[in-house]
Amino acid sequence: MSYAETAISLIMARTDEYLKDIGRGRRIDDYPELAAAVSSLTDEALKQWAMVSGAGWRERTASGDGGRYLHALELLDGDTVLQTLMELCLAEFTYPVFSAYLEDNFGYGPCLHLAAMIEGREPLSHDEIQRLAVTARRLLVVDINTEPLQYARVSADERLMGFIGGYDGVSRRLSDFTVLYRPGDALHDAFVNNDLIERGVSYFRSGGRVLTLAGCGGRRFIARHIAKGLDRGFLFLNIADLIRVADRGDIAPLRDTLLREAYFDEAGICLYGFSDRFITGGISDRVRGRHDMEVLSGQLITPLTDEGIPVILCADEAKMMPDRLSDGICCISLPGTYSFEERKTLWQGFFEMYGLELEAASFASRYRMYPREVSYAVKNYMALSASDRKGASGSGSPDRGADQEMQSKEEYFARINIDSIKRSELEMGRIVYPDIRLEDVKLKDNVKRVLRDAVNAVLTGPLVMDEWGLKKSYPYGRGVSLLMAGPPGTGKTMSANAIAGELSLPLYQVNLSNTVDKYIGETEKNLEKAFSFAEKNNTILFFDEADALFGTRSEVHDSKDRYANTEISYLLQRMEAYDGIVVMATNIKGNIDPAFMRRIRFVAHFENPDEEMRRAIWESCITDEVPHDEIDLDYLASQFDKFTGSIIKTVFLNACVAAAGDGGRLTMKHLIYAIKQETEKESAVGFTMDILGKYAYLV
């Protein structure tokens, strides 16, 4: 017989002997299944059982000789009443007819009163009953709200039986949303935040009860490393899932299941998912906001810590934690941002782990991701096939040179980053992920040089600020800001997209209609949302028609002027504090407040294209993919000297549409027809055929 089988048969025999001693009740012989189990007890089995109170049981654990059973008894503090109670519950679980036997003879099933009678310790004092009931919950299912408590129904669940039998899986009630981390489980190195991990380990080793990991990016990973440092398992579960599956909002039964699981696995508990919206319904006595945490503290967290179980809470903000834990709680806040060196170490660590030969410094310059986001990006990249990796970013010019594959990888990582954004957060604008580069934009060399300087400022910023030590001399204003000024249609918006393409970063184009608000203070709130979104999601912030926001301050004649100037003052402060990339476009540079101009690092002056530039733009449109007859580029460039790049592209698109409808081949006739449409639209005095010059006959 196994150790557990001996214990179960013996408790049934002891119960029957107790009935015999008090001279009442139906004997066990009236229950054939129970009688057979009791009769199977052998002298050898009883001899082994007698060793329960002996030393050295931990050494026997390895051989499977009842070690887990003895460990369970230890978790009950070695109390004989609780040992008897557990054995009664195991007998009932193994032989359901034993429940009928107890009901027939006592009128109730396993409870503290019955166990105490069998052990000769009845009556129990009130304090003893309370203490024993709380201890029993470590392994047994106890309805602790029953009055009187000594008659509360107690039972064993399948997890206790599984534990004693050698099963190490998580309880079925928790397994759908709970993961057990064991110290021997695979866990890669922490490339950053090692100091935070050491703080967490030291805190628990010195007797700490509750540790809060606050902030974003890798909290559970840090919690696993803390568990590894403690050489202790930890159960990880989402608090929202726990509340969701709780019966009628009462989390006590699930809490007790979790408590037992922690004892079986000798594990701590990590609860994550604490945010402003973590409550999904079902907490009894719940109220809104911070008070939800107070309710959870009383119903869940405090009962766990009172049992000596270390608890880690992963929260968005430290202030969410309940006041009642303030004396014993330790809070470790994750960094809001990481230095260039830390980001480089992070990327390098993941590249080496996956065998990727990529330049970590390049990725660290572009992407200000949290460790979790870097891990997510690299893992998803590695999940692609080799061919998919090479073309992960989509199309691009086939003749971009040897850097195309590197650029492709960088674009892919940026796409993964932006794909993780919650679209509901895109209140103030829209995300654009451009495919174009600066070489695709036809601009004068002096303008393109300024744009290239802005790109280089982003790429070399960490080198200059961190490695060259300029950070201490520039405590603010370290961001990269670019103003593009010039007439409409000269390529400002396209250039903003090209800059994003060069940096392999998404472009967050702010929608001014959603941002500017007539109500006092709302514009500043909306702008803060835009800046915060760009910071959080590693995007380029783009303000088109920027003079609507960055316009010159006026003299104060009324309250409207005063509040308008307040908005500009807010923008000035926010621009200085912003470490990211801001691109602005305006048609009239003079409309921009001089205070902004002093804070803008780069200014590019766009002009209407000259004849040479117009020809280059026309030529870039007429590619080999477009079926066409001979096109007179010199005529197009010289005849229509008022055309900007934007107008040329519109004309070309309309001509292609007309050509596709006419049989699918672009000719001068289609272009002249599209030009006539455009000039009629733009002309203030009416259209004349002279405008079309020598090809007017085609219309």
Closest CA to 157 of 145, 146, 142: 142
Structure tokens at 378: 């690299």
What pLDDT was estimated at residue 280?
A: 40
What average pLDDT score do residues 577-598 get? Answer: 83
Domain that holds residue 283: 178-333
> Which of 50-59, 312-321, 383-392 is least confident?
50-59
Q: What is the pLDDT of residues 129-149, one digit of tens each?
A: 999 999 999 999 998 778 899
pLDDT given for residue 613 in this prediction: 92
Are the C-beta atoms of 228 and 349 separated by less than 8 Å?
no
| 591 and 442, same domain (yes or no) | yes
Calculate the CA 520 to chain-centre distance.
34
Q: Are residues 461 and 589 in the same domain?
A: yes
Nearest to residue 272, comparing CAs of 297, 239, 304, 300? 239
Work out the mean pLDDT of the chain and round it to a whole number: 82
Asked whether residue 427 is domain-assigned, the answer is no
Q: Which helix (H) or strand (E) holds 212?
A: strand 210-214
CA angle centred on 396, ends 393 and 399, rounded to 5°: 135
Mean pLDDT, rounded, for 438-451: 92
- CA 112, CA 86: separation in Å to the nearest integer? 10
pLDDT above 50 (res 485): yes
**Considering the domain boundaries, does residue 564 fall inside one?**
yes
423 within some domain: no
Looking only at Cα atoms, what is the longest distance across the chain?
A: 126
Residue 545 lies in a domain: yes
Query: From CA 299, how far away is CA 305, in angstroms rounded?
Result: 11
**pLDDT band for position 413 (cuts 50, 70, 90):** low
In a domain, 173, yes or no: no
CA distance 314 to 220: 7
CATH number at residue 662: 1.10.8
> Would you say residue 281 lies in a domain?
yes
Are 108 and 222 in a shared domain? Answer: no
Q: How many domains does the chain have?
A: 5
- The CA distance from 176 to 168, in Å, is 15
Per DSSP bridges, beta strands 267-274 and 233-238 are parallel
632 versus 699: the higher-pLDDT residue is 632
Q: Identify whether residues 306 and 359 lie together within a single domain.
A: no
Q: What is the pLDDT of residues 354-400, one digit of tens each?
A: 998 888 888 888 787 889 888 888 887 887 755 555 554 443 433 44
**Reduced to 3 states, what is the DSSP secondary structure of residue 341?**
helix
242/195 same-domain check? yes
Residues 318, 353, single domain; the answer is no
Between 96 and 251, whose confidence is greater? 96
Please tell me the predicted confidence (pLDDT) of residue 434.
85
Instruction: Note whether 238 and 285 are same-domain residues.
Output: yes
Bigger pLDDT: 695 vs 466: 695
pLDDT of residue 292: 62
| Same domain? 239 vs 253 | yes
Gyration radius of the chain over CA positions: 37
For residue 394, what pLDDT is reported? 41
User: Distance from first CA to last CA of the chain, Å, rounded?
Assistant: 104
Domain end position, chosen among 605, 636, 654: 605
Q: DSSP letter string over 525-565?
A: HHHHHHHHHHHHHT-EEEESSTHHHHBPP---SSHHHHHHH
Q: What is the pLDDT of residue 234?
A: 97
pLDDT of 283 strictly over 80 = no
pLDDT computed for residue 189 by the predictor: 93
Q: What is the pLDDT of residues 59-73, one digit of tens each?
A: 444 445 577 888 888
pTM, to two decimals: 0.71
CA nearest 268: which of 253, 258, 278, 254? 258
Instruction: Summarize pLDDT for 271-282 with one digit per residue, the tens.
Output: 998 765 554 443
Give the span between the Cα atoms of 401 and 677, in whole angstroms.
40
Strands 602-605 and 480-485 come out as parallel
456: left (phi over 0), alpha (psi -120 to 50) or beta: alpha
Q: Are residues 588 and 449 in the same domain?
A: yes
- If you ran DSSP here, which 8-state letter would residue 467 be given? I
What CATH number does residue 184 fall under?
3.40.50.300
- Report the run of H or E that residue 673 belongs to, with start and end: helix 668-682
SS3 of residue 583 by DSSP: strand
Angle at 18 between CA 22 and CA 78, to 5 degrees: 135
Cβ count within 10 A of residue 469: 9
Read off the pLDDT of residues 73-89 as tens digits, 9 standing for 90 and up: 888 988 999 999 999 99
Q: Is residue 400 part of a domain?
A: no
CA angle 50, 51, 54 (to 5 degrees): 130
Question: Is position 587 within any domain?
Answer: yes
Burial class of 22 by CB neighbour count within 10 A (0 to 12, 13 to 18, 19+):
exposed
Q: What are the angstrom distances between the C-alpha of 89 and each of 6, 31, 112, 160, 583? A: 14, 18, 11, 10, 71
Q: Which of 317, 333, 349 is the last residue of a domain?
A: 333
Mean pLDDT of 284-311: 71
Same domain? For 448 and 585 the reply is yes
SS3 call for 432: strand
Interatomic CA distance for residues 691 and 675, integer angstroms? 10
Q: Of 323 and 514, which is predicted with more confidence?
A: 514
Which of 366, 391, 430, 364 is closest to 580 using CA atoms? Answer: 366
Tell me, yes or no, whether 77 and 207 share the same domain.
no
Shared domain check, 589 and 449 = yes
- pLDDT recorded at residue 567: 67
Q: Which residue among 573, 605, 637 closes a domain? A: 605
